[in-house]
Amino acid sequence: MQLVTEENITDLAAERWASAGDPRLAQLMTAFVRHLHAFAQEVRLTETEWMAAVQWLTRAGSISNEKREELILASDVLGLSMLVVQMNHRLDPRATPATVLGPFHIEGSPELGYGGDMSDGVPGTPLLVHGRVRNLAGNPVAGAVLDVWQADTDGAYESQVPDIDEARLRAKYTTREDGGYCLRTIAPKGYTIPMDGPVGELIGRTAISHFRPAHVHFLIDVAGYEPLITHLFQEGADYLDSDVVFGTKQELVVPFEPREPGATPDGGSLDRPWLEARYDFVLQPRG
């Protein structure tokens, strides 16, 4: 019989979890137990605090559904999501860096042609984003699919707007033979993460800014290259230095240049002022 003491409880628990049949699971669980115990010991966790944490996790689980993932949000604001991205996407320095996926990507966006408008009547300042998708050697990558999504000017993504039956501010674009892409949308604004749940409750007890800087999301996929999940951020936007989910990188900050009404890069034209962002995405070969 093993008699438990404060000194041996960590080893006993770790040994028990080391029995997992899958060696990776055994590694994950024993390390988790050791770090969890070390945390409790370091802060001398009280029973009241332990219960508060359990109830917080219960509330985070209960508020989650297919449109809201409070525990992913918790991982995001703790910097864990971005740490996992960094460790798993150590790309060539020439490649466009990856950043967090976030909770608002929706599968199956409509396919639009070169210059196609994914804002389709959603009010805002027109924004054209264009450039090329290239490989590390600088050669064009044809047939790459850019899956693009963003929030409206109130900071709401499609899944946060009730009673929508059509895709809103999201679309897929495919690069041409020269690697070129051009998308039309509206200029995004900075927005707050959802603050009406347990994550917001906790953030509200700190001095942490709960905003993200204005950005457009991209998921770029094509055979032979690592899929790239990234964002483009507006140069000069608020919160670039304090992104609540740690997702901002200097290489992803681009100017949104003001343009007068007139010709647009897709060969069309606009009868009101618009913004132009140019960006070349560089993909890392799969491997």
Cβ proximity to Fe ion: between 102 and 197 the closer is 102
Cα separation, 7 vs 15, in Å, equals: 14
Cα separation, 124 vs 202, in Å, equals: 33
Strands (E), 99-179: 111-112, 126-134, 145-149, 170-174
Cβ proximity to ligand BEZ: between 73 and 118 the closer is 73
Q: Which amino acid is at 231?
A: H
- Please state the closest distance from residue 212 (CB atom) to ligand BEZ, in A: 6
243 binds, among ligand BEZ, Fe ion, none (CB under 5 to 8 A by kind): none
- Please state the closest distance from residue 183 (CB atom) to ligand BEZ, in A: 17
172 binds, among Fe ion, ligand BEZ, none (CB under 5 to 8 A by kind): none
Cβ proximity to Fe ion: between 102 and 179 the closer is 102
Cβ proximity to ligand BEZ: between 100 and 277 the closer is 100
- What is the residue whose two structure tokens read 């950005």? 215
| Touching Fe ion, residues 261-280 (CB under 5 A) | none
146 binds, among ligand BEZ, Fe ion, none (CB under 5 to 8 A by kind): none
Question: Which two structure tokens, joined as six digits, stand for 167?
Answer: 């895709």
- Please state the closest distance from residue 75 (CB atom) to ligand BEZ, in A: 9
Cβ proximity to Fe ion: between 131 and 247 the closer is 247
| Touching Fe ion, residues 1-30 (CB under 5 A) | none
Question: How many other CB atoms are there within 10 angstroms of residue 205's CB atom?
Answer: 7
Cβ proximity to ligand BEZ: between 132 and 212 the closer is 212
- Please state the closest distance from residue 71 (CB atom) to ligand BEZ, in A: 12
Q: How far is CA 110 from CA 76, 103, 152, in A?
A: 28, 19, 18
Strands (E), the chain: 111-112, 126-134, 145-149, 170-174, 180-186, 191-192, 211-212, 215-221, 228-234, 253-254, 257-259, 262-263, 269-270, 274-278, 281-282
100 binds, among ligand BEZ, Fe ion, none (CB under 5 to 8 A by kind): ligand BEZ
Residue window 72-111: x/- pattern of binding to Fe ion, with contact defined by CB under 5 A: ------------------------------x---------
Per CB under 6 A, residues contacting ligand BEZ are 73, 76, 100, 102-104, 193, 212, 245
Phi-psi region of 77 (alpha: psi -120 to 50; beta: other; left: phi over 0): alpha
Please name the residues in contact with 10: beta carbons below 8 A apart, sequence gap of 6 or more: 33, 34, 37, 38
Considering all CA atoms of the chain, what is the largest pairwise distance in Å, rounded to the nearest integer?
A: 83
- Please state the closest distance from residue 2 (CB atom) to Fe ion, in A: 50
Cα separation, 155 vs 148, in Å, equals: 16
Q: How far is CA 120 from CA 48, 168, 182, 184, 245, in A?
A: 52, 8, 15, 9, 29
- Please state the closest distance from residue 178 (CB atom) to Fe ion, in A: 29
- In the bound complex, which residue of the shown chain has the CB atom lying closest to ligand BEZ? 102
Number of residues in contact with Fe ion under rule CB under 5 A: 1
Cβ proximity to Fe ion: between 45 and 106 the closer is 106
Q: Note the residues at the interface with Fe ion (CB under 5 A).
A: 102
